Amino acid sequence: MVELLLEYANKNSIILELNRKNRFGDTPLSKAIDNKNIEMVELLLKYANDKHILLELNEKNGNGNCLLLEAIDKNRIEIIKLLTEYASKNNIILKLNEKDKHGDNLLVNAIYKDNPKMIELLLDYATKNNIIMELNKKNKFGNYPFLEAIVHSNIEIVKLLMEYSNRNNIILELNKKNKYGHFPLLVAFMDNNIEMVKLLMDQANKSNTPLKINEKDQYGDNLLVNAIYKDNPKMFELLMEYTNRNNIILELNENNKFRNI
């Protein structure tokens, strides 16, 4: 149907208004993305290029999302590729750090989808366009991209963010808490994720960022207590090695809020 409409418009020298919104705030392209229709997105982008129409990719649709965020929300890598390619070809800089109504940027929304390929696409686009991604910026819940990746226990995504931060001289906030008192190393301990703990300790050493091993969670328990809860000797061993190597004295006699040591 769309193809027929475009053909008719071409035959009759009619220029379609691709940036015009309907009463719900949607353009033809945003509606095609919302419907996850890759073929329609391709047709509209081709028509825009053929007719030298500059699409407003950073405009928000009726859901309050820009087009790239809508594609991320629909978990459509093919559409993300099409949009970033169109943007590059037409010298449009996509606003990757733009926030949604929850205060999350595009990177956080991609992390929610648990899709490393999507993260890789966004970071590659950011690098090519000299955009510094906000890895430590909190949303209204105090969560931030790096912490969200750890909450999702996605090692591949965490590695991608670490590599990106190292390339761009970004110091990751390894000790920053969200509103619930959770911070990266604590989340890794709570998930009993030894590989994640190792990654965080390695990153701390590389960036000369001392980990706050005696920091408490919302119940007043430090990392040692959390390691004991998990009954995981390897986790306990990693903690001892890190504290010895960094001359940290563990607080063994501190009570939690239930007055347990």
Q: Domain segments of the chain: what residues?
A: 1-94
Each residue's pLDDT, cut to its tens digit, for the chain (261 residues) gives: 666 666 655 666 667 677 888 898 899 999 999 999 999 999 999 989 988 989 999 998 888 889 999 999 999 999 999 999 999 999 999 999 988 888 888 999 999 999 999 999 999 999 999 999 999 988 888 889 999 999 999 999 999 999 999 999 999 999 999 988 899 999 999 899 999 999 999 999 999 999 988 888 888 888 888 888 888 888 889 988 999 999 988 776 555 554 454
Residues 6+ apart with CB under 8 A from 169: none
1-94 is a CATH 1.25.40.20 domain: yes
Backbone angles phi, psi at 259, to 5 degrees: 65, 25
Beta-bridge partner residues of 60: 66
pTM over 0.75: yes
Q: Are 106 and 97 in contact (CB under 8 A)?
A: yes
CA 169 vs CA 166, 199, 220: distances in Å? 5, 18, 33
Q: Report d(CA 228, CA 230) in Å as an integer.
A: 5
How is residue 232 written in tokens? 């995981």
CA angle at residue 29 from 28 to 33, to 5 degrees?
Answer: 120
First to last CA, the chain: 69
Burial of 166 (0-12, 13-18, 19+ CB in 10 A): middle
pLDDT at 225: 82
